[in-house]
Amino acid sequence: MAIDWRAVVVTAKLASVSTLVLLIIGTPLAWWLARTKAKARPFVEAMVAVPLVLPPTVLGFYLLILLGPGGAIGAFWESVGGPRLVFSFPGLVVGSVLYSLPFVVQPLQNSFRAVPERLLDAAATLRASPLDRFATVVFPLARPGFLTAITLGFAHTVGEFGVVLMIGGNIPGRTEVLSIALYNHVEALQYAEAHTLAAGLLLFSFVVLMVVYTLNRRFETPRL
């Protein structure tokens, strides 16, 4: 009974890269959503949340159309020298980021909203610039939100199936992630291998969530 290490590596790489990209995009987006009074907010919030309710295959289907060499985005991307996005690792990252976006933005947005405005004002009068205020007041107070966002973003990417199937194809060592490998084993009636992967993913998910909840308890900062 061999463990499919190539699928483990692809999955871990995909989840790590996606989580990093999600944090880079999600943090300013969540901050804007938490503070803005703009009329466009509900629209943007709905856009971010769509993957929560949409069948992943729908998202995957549209991405396949858009990112493909004949699609609006794919054609432009390849004309400026970008690597092919469908059936490739970069394409998987794009799909995962969109699919996991609400899992990162929502915990961040909630924790940003809980940071009292008056503390930011106090920091401003103490000569802290906007970035300084974010690093020294918002970030420490929103730390549990960041931890939740990172974990959910990572774990959700690991657990993804539909989007990956649609735009990733099934290329071992490049786009074949664990959930796909599991599906392939079942299709091939290799139940022993399927059991190993399924149990491994179950254990991983549980352990990750345990760690988050334990750390969140420890991080609980005393509030005024």
Partner 1 sequence: MSGIGARFRTTLGGFVLDVDIEAPGTGVTGLFGASGSGKTTVLRCIAGLHRATDGAVRANGDVWQDDTAGVFVPPHRRGVGYVSQEADLFPHLNVRDNLRYAQRRVPPGDQSIAWDDVMAWLAVGPLLARDVPRLSGGERQRVALARALLACPKLILMDEPVSALDEPARHEVLGYLEAALDQLALPVIYVSHSLTEVARLSNQLVWLVDGRVSDTGSVSHVLGRIDFARWRGEEPGVVLEGTVKAHDEEFHLTTIDTPLGNLTIHRRAEQPGSRIRVQVNARDVSLGLAPQQASSILNELPLTVLETAELSASNCLVRLGRPERDGPVLLARITNKSRAQLSLQPGREVYARVKSVAVLD
User: Cα 213 from chain centroid?
Assistant: 19
What CA–CA distances, in Å, run from 99 to 1, 44, 53, 157, 172?
32, 15, 11, 8, 22
Binding mask 23-42 for partner 1 (x = CB under 8 A): --------------------
- Tokens 């159309």 belong to 65
Residue number with CB closer to partner 1 (36 or 136): 136
Contact 115, 138 (CB under 8 A): yes
For partner 1, the binding residue among 128, 198, 208, 209 (CB under 8 A) is 128
Beta carbons within 8 Å of 44's beta carbon, 6+ residues apart: 29, 32, 33
For partner 1, the binding residue among 28, 140, 172, 173 (CB under 8 A) is 140
> Does 46 interact with partner 1 (rule: CB under 8 A)?
no
> Does 217 interact with partner 1 (rule: CB under 8 A)?
no
> Does 224 interact with partner 1 (rule: CB under 8 A)?
yes
Overall size of the chain counted in residues:
224
Q: Which stretch binds partner 1 (CB under 8 A): 17-25, 42-50, 132-140, 149-157?
A: 132-140
- Tokens 């999955």 belong to 11
For partner 1, the binding residue among 12, 25, 124, 215 (CB under 8 A) is 124
User: Which residues in this chain contact partner 1 in the complex, by CB under 8 A?
Assistant: 116, 118-119, 121-130, 132-133, 136-137, 140-141, 221-224
